[in-house]
Structure formats: C-alpha cells, structure tokens
Amino acid sequence: MAEEMTIDAKNLHYTPLNRMLRKAVSEGTTEIVINNVLGQRFIGDGLRGDNVNITINGLPGGDLAMFMNGPTVTVNGNCDHAPGNTMNSGRVIIHGSTGDATAHSMRGGEVYVRDNIGYRGGIHMKEYQEKRPVLVVGGCGRAFLGEDLAGGLLIVLGLCGECPVDERGVGSGIHGGKIILRGDVDELKLGIGAKKEDLTQEDIDDMRPFIENFAKYFDYNADEILNSKFVKIVPSSARPFANKYCWE
C-alpha cells in the first residue's frame, strides 16, 4: 500500500473526508496531504496513528484534531475554533491564526499557532501522568486565556509586536499548570485565583524544547525568543474553591 497520498477536499463533506483519512491510516499510509480544504470541520477527529503526518492546505473548520491520538497535523492556513479540542496526543502546527477555545480541554500533545488565537485559548487544559498538553502561540491571545487551567503549559509570545494578551480574565480559576507570557501582563488583567511570578531557570529549561520546535516550524530564532523577558501565571492556590462551601 502506498505510504503517501493526496486527498482533494474540494466540495467534500467532512464525513467522507474523515473516512478517507481513517482508511488511509489503517492501510499504513503515513504521509497525507489534503488540498483545497475550505471549512470542513472535525478533520482528524479521534484519529490514531503515531507516525502519521497530515498536511492541510486551506482553511479547516472547527474542532480540528479533536480527540486525536498521535498524528501530526500541519495546517497551511488559518483555523476555525477549537483546534486540538480534548486532544489526547499528537501535534498540530498551524501556519496562521485560530479561532476561540483553541486547545480546549487538551489532555496531551502539542499545538503550535504561528499567529493569534481567539478568546478562551487553552481553556481547561489538564494533564495526567506522562501526558502534558502544550500550547504555544506566536502572536497574542484574547480574554479568558487559560481559564480554569488544570494542568499543562500555555505559552504566548506576542511576536506580532504587541503585548501577548491585553484583555481580562487571564487564568481565571487556574488550579494547575502554568501560563508563560513573553513580555508582561497588567495585574488587573489577571482573573480570580491567578498570580504573576517571575520565571525561574527551571521554567526556561521547561519551555525551551517547545520554543525550539516553534522556531523550527515557523522560522524564528529560538535563542532570540528565549532571551526575552517572560512572566508566568500560576494558581494562587491549588484549591481555589476549597473554601467556598460549608455543610448542611
């Protein structure tokens, strides 16, 4: 069976498109190019396969790579909302911007966005055992970045020349994981339960491999990025709601 294939998604509904993808992967195809993608949702939804590389040329619709388990998806274009939604493992590399709820509830794997993301980026990411989700955003995030964060690493670089996030609710309800921002963020923009701290060398070492990946994918100089000033947002308490209740 061929190990490479090309799918023309023109006028193709997402269900047959996903069926073709699954079939190809189950038959051992490891390099798949999908051309003419225009708004098809759910591409790679629930797809498994550790050595599979999927290149999407065009503009995928919502929930790209949702529940995905293993493959690497490269998008040459922007994405609609929630790429990486509840993803388990694998990698999504987006050469453009994405919509709201990017990496929502992601449990494992990595999502790299070259430009900007919409509202609620990295919301409710969590981690478990060896699975630790990572979202790296080259441009800026919008309000409620990393809200309810339960685990994982969320990095926003603000390489577009603006501050990484200039809207409110950053890290509201954060109770695990950390958000690292290049530059700074106004304390007033932080949500309830979030606090700002300086980075330690450990934090820098921790994010280095992901910054290196980012630089490699999008043609940046990793050292230059790593030499910038960063802040991190962490939970002010591991149990933000532990004190809210009393008993009947």
Partner 1 sequence: MTIGSVPPKYKIAIDRDQCMLCERCIDNCSYGVFRKEDQKIIADSRKCTACHRCIAMCPRDAINLHEKPNDYRSHPVWTRETREAIYNQAKSGKIILSGMGNAGDYPIIFDKLVLDACQVTNPSIDPLREPMEIRTYIGKKPRQVEVSKNSSGDYDLNTELAPNLKLDTPVMIGHMSYGAISLNAQLAMAKAVHEVGTYMGTGEGGLHKSLFPYQDRMIVQIASGRFGVDVDYLERGAAIEIKIGQGAKPGIGGHLPGEKVSEEVSKTRMIPIHSDAISPAPHHDIYSIEDLAQLVRSLKEATEWKKPVFVKIAAVHNAPAIAAGIARSSADAVVIDGFKGGTGAAPRVFRDNVGIPIEAAVAAVDSKLRSQGVRNEISIIASGGIRNSADLTKSIALGADAVYIGTAALVAMGCRVCGSCYRGLCPWGIATQRPELVKRLNPDEASKNVANLIKGWTLELSELMGAAGINSIESLRGNRDRLRGYMLDEGLMNVLDVKTVGA
Q: Does 246 bind partner 1 (CB under 8 A)?
A: yes
Contacts (CB under 8 A) with partner 1, residues 127-146: 127-128, 131
Minimum CB separation of residue 40 from partner 1 in Å reads: 10
Closer CB to partner 1, residue 133 or residue 182? 133
b/e sequence 196-208, b meaning 16+ C-beta within 10 Å: beebeeebeebbe
Q: Are strands 176-182 and 69-76 parallel, antiparallel or unpaired?
A: unpaired
Q: Does 176 bind partner 1 (CB under 8 A)?
A: yes
Contact stretch for partner 1 (CB under 8 A) within 14-22, 31-39, 181-189, 222-230: 14-22
Minimum CB separation of residue 7 from partner 1 in Å reads: 16
Reference 125, options 142, 100, 150; nearest CA is 150
Closer CB to partner 1, residue 84 or residue 164? 84
SS3 147: coil
Beta carbons of 49 and 29 less than 8 angstroms apart: no
Q: Does 104 bind partner 1 (CB under 8 A)?
A: yes
Whole-number Å distance between alpha carbons of 180 and 227: 14
Q: Which two tokens stand for residue 32?
A: 């798949």
Closer CB to partner 1, residue 15 or residue 200? 15
With CB under 8 A as the contact rule, the residue among 15, 51, 200, 228 that binds partner 1 is 15
